[in-house]
Chains A and B, each alone.
Chain A
């Protein structure tokens, strides 16, 4: 069949497609479109590094400029994935070094990155521009020194919530004197002090710097020096935000912040002295994002700051804000879209702050654009959840963590099934849900019936039987990621829904009752020994199932077993 358009025209049209889903859809139309598309795809997203191998990716997409790869499952954030599990980036980097010499961007999440990998990438990709490492580990500040020294065209170096072995702050001094291309620097997760004069010079000579997130070690009295040199900053993260008795600091800060007329995002605020918070007020009118989750400051001071931000869209804060503070949001921050409230004392037996379900109810009632919620609290009721659901049917992400596992409705002592049921029934666009509290199989009936757009579900200490899991797997059409801990779910639901598992990115189950595994590409993690060596009645410790075209892993540690077809037959 003759082409209706020359290839160049199709390529030009495809260039307007930025979403991966669209690109994937285009590639399925016909063979020639598949070919044209694969040669002009520049950006790749790999949601699970073990779903595909570097070789397969490179063979299909020869001209890639930007990769984003995710490694460990989400529950690794809470220490549920043992040390040494995997997600090493080195094989990817060494393969890409050979095949993508013009690679510009690498974004990684929950992967193990070594100094060796960083050095290799810094020396191999001549046009390297963007490195974003989110929740990664395995490297030291020496690796950062390689990046600083060798990446002449670097624009972004963003270390978000990484675990870095901090040998010294000397790495920053490796940026050469003629290096001026920096646009974004996020070093907030690092511990040691960098040379302040090197930092000052770096900021001075990079006129396009728009994001600067400092680490705790940068003292507050030095902030004006930096802000004065970078009045164009859009995103700024302070270091420690307190000092001993120096009267000039406050006025210097006021002057410096008022010079920054473009600030939209603020973060940092370790060790906050509330007396210094008002210094930022002049900068607050434009603020859309405020991360106060390190600010151990009480409610009145928190609220004073927050109400200076009429354009606030995203607020991350500790539960020191309390119900009283949250009440202020509808009046002063009407455009709020995302709220995250973190616990100041998650392991304490008694509540230390006056933050209850009421705070969330008032925000849901008064902030019409609220769509994304992460809320830690110690009590919840079905009535509150139903109210929230009715107030905010536009919720997209709802993650509720009631700290006491299996806590019932504190008013009626019933399970919270109807409350969460209301959430999924009213919030028809819900993409992500995390549940907690006392929950029976009923809630999973509601979820299977209503949560048709749900893509990610996190469950802990919930349900009574396999029926719960079965309802989720058979009813949630859009489900891609399911993570379960400490629920009485076993083999039956998995076996009955084996086909569903192939439509999902991954399923994680830990401390459940699974004994037999439904198919291949199943990883069993058991530090006690091979699953076959355990008594037949003994459930596996951790199960991680994911679809892959790459076959079984070659880099498994000794506590991971992949189950093959034979094993399934033997056990049954």
Chain B
């Protein structure tokens, strides 16, 4: 009888988590563990990465990541020319220094003292943008900065051009 009451209470209980999950699942997910943590049958490896496994020191992980990065590009730095419409001379920046689009765009805005506004998938750069950032890719096409994932951009970007807003309005996803 007591159990039945518990079941009823559970149904109306207020707690954190998705419906159908229990405290234990939440605790497990907080621990960043996979769901078959205690399962000792011949199962395949947990899909999620387990903290502490495999037992490799952090500094060893870095050696490999850096090796892979430098094998992606021919040079140690990824310096690209940056031009801005109306500016008397070009600049060069190392795009490998940045981790994401916001960092890159902030640096470019500082370099040329311009504002490019906010990226939107549909409309390009909006909200107070006099200029829009574009880049020439490996195929020689001029693309709007921000459409592709960052890592893909770093590999394919050959040069940057900060285009005047009016001209850039025509540039967007096809």
Contacts and interface: CB of A to CB of B under 8 A. Distances in A.
A219 B139 CA distance: 36
A406 B54 contact: no
B54 A346 contact: yes
B33 interface: yes
Interface stretch (A72-80, A383-391, A472-480, A547-555): A72-80
A344 B68 CA distance: 10
B55 A78 contact: yes
Interface in B43-94: 43-46, 49-61, 63-64, 67, 70
Interface stretch (B34-42, B103-111, B145-153, B166-174): B34-42
B27 interface: yes
Interface string A465-490: 00000000000000000000110100
B51 A79 contact: yes
B30 interface: yes
B121 interface: no
A406 B51 CA distance: 16
Nearest to A296: B67
Nearest to B47: A349
Nearest to A294: B63
Given A528-B27, A535-B23, A510 B52 contact: yes
Interface string A380-409: 000000000000000000000101111110
Interface in A328-344: 342-344
A347 B51 contact: no
B10 interface: no
A77 B59 CA distance: 10
A440 B41 CA distance: 10
Given A347-B49, A406-B43, A77 B23 contact: no
Main secondary structure of the interface of A (DSSP, over half): loop
A321 B20 CA distance: 49
A187 to B, nearest CB: 14
A519 interface: no
B24 interface: yes
B50 to A, nearest CB: 7
B52 A161 contact: no
Nearest to A76: B52
In which size bucket is the chain B interface? 20 to 34
Interface in A439-485: 440, 460-461, 463-464, 485
A376 interface: yes
Which applies to chain B's interface (DSSP): helix, strand, loop or mixed?
A: loop
B58 A79 contact: yes
Interface residues of A, number: 45
A464 B52 contact: no
B31 interface: yes
A161 B50 contact: no
B64 A345 contact: yes
A236 interface: no
A511 interface: yes
Nearest to B38: A488
B57 A78 contact: yes
Contacts of B27: 528, 538
Contacts of B40: 406, 438, 440, 461, 463-464, 488
A495 interface: no
Contacts of A189: 59
Interface string A348-380: 000000000000000000000000000010000
A80 B56 CA distance: 12
Contacts of A485: 52-53
Contacts of B67: 271, 296
Q: Which of A161, A486, A510 has the most CB of B within 10 A?
A: A486
A293 interface: yes
Q: Which 8 A-B pairs have CB atoms at the shortest separation, nearest pair first?
A: A78-B52, A296-B67, A80-B52, A404-B45, A78-B55, A346-B54, A346-B56, A403-B54
Interface of A: 75, 77-80, 161, 163, 189, 270-271, 293-294, 296, 342-347, 376, 401, 403-408, 413, 434, 438, 440, 460-461, 463-464, 485-486, 488, 510-511, 513, 528, 535, 538, 541
16 contacts: A78-B52, A78-B57, A342-B60, A347-B49, A405-B46, A406-B40, A413-B42, A434-B55, A438-B42, A460-B52, A461-B40, A486-B33, A486-B37, A528-B27, A528-B30, A538-B23
Interface of B: 23-24, 27, 30-31, 33, 37-38, 40, 42-46, 49-61, 63-64, 67, 70
Given A79-B52, A163-B58, A407-B45, 6 more contacts: A78-B52, A161-B59, A343-B54, A376-B54, A434-B55, A460-B53
